[in-house]
């Protein structure tokens, strides 16, 4: 049973890594949150799983039916705190993440990063924590809404660009503040990488 569970965990590692790794077909987001990345959590879970496998004795007399356990018997959200596979409705031109469950919010943002072409042109509304990042090479400042998963161990930033009605720094929040931002999802390239952003964004509750 332990052996099958360990194999299932490794299968989930492969799936999650392939979905969260930087890929030319996906999109990146520049600003960081300071929280642990999915890769950090995966590494910790692998180490914990290996330690558990070594510490626990094999019980060959266990019910044979337990040997039929597959990856479908394990809830990946329990193992990794990473987004589980749920159907994400991207129909229509407006997606309000503030009305979704924590798991669905993180899952949708995960899909926005990995399948960005499905969201281009759609107006996205989301709530998260404010973060900003300055590229030391160019001096350009980037802004992001940081979305955390249900366990708050993993996070993903969605970059946004506020309209000209907002003047920096007076009209901008402070690092870590709770914000609700709404803007049009778009893609752009800098160098060899593709990034996503919410253009023509506004913050709910601010002018």
Provide φ and ψ at 134, rounded to 5°.
-115, 125
Number of domains in the chain: 1
Are 34 and 175 in contact by the 8 Å Cβ rule? The answer is no
Q: Of 101 and 187, which is predicted with more confidence?
A: 187
Sign of CA dihedral 179, 96, 201, 20: positive
Portion of the chain with pLDDT greater than 70, in percent: 57
Residue 162 contacts residue 203 (beta carbons within 8 Å): yes
For 88, the domain range is 1-207
- CATH number for 47: 2.40.50.140
Q: Is this model's pTM higher than 0.75 or not? A: no
Cα–Cα distance measured from residue 69 to residue 113, given in angstroms and rounded to the nearest whole number: 31
Instruction: Report pLDDT digits (tens) over 56-115.
Output: 554 554 544 444 444 344 343 443 344 444 456 677 899 999 998 888 888 888 889 889
Number of Cβ atoms within 10 Å of the Cβ of 82 = 25
Residue 48's pLDDT band (boundaries 50, 70, 90)? low
Closest CA to 182 of 122, 125, 109: 125
């Amino acid at each position: 049973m332990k052996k099958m569970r360990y194999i299932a965990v490794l299968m989930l590692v492969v799936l999650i890594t392939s979905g969260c790794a930087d890929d030319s077909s996906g999109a990146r987001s520049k600003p960081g949150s300071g929280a642990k990345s999915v890769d950090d959590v995966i590494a910790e879970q692998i180490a914990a799983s290996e330690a558990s496998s070594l510490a626990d004795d094999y019980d060959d007399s266990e019910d044979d039916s337990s040997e039929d356990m597959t990856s479908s018997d394990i809830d990946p959200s329990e193992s990794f705190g990473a987004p589980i596979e749920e159907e994400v409705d991207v129909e229509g031109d407006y997606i309000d993440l503030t009305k979704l469950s924590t798991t669905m919010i993180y899952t949708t943002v995960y899909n926005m990063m990995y399948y960005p072409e499905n969201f281009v042109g759609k107006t996205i509304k989301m709530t998260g924590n404010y973060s900003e990042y300055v590229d030391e090479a160019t001096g350009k400042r980037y802004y992001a809404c940081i979305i955390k998963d249900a366990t708050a161990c993993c996070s993903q930033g969605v970059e946004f660009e506020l309209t000209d009605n907002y003047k920096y720094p007076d009209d901008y929040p402070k690092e870590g503040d709770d914000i609700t931002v709404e803007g049009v999802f778009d893609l752009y390239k800098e160098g060899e990488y593709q990034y996503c952003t919410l253009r023509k964004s506004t913050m709910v509750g601010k002018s």
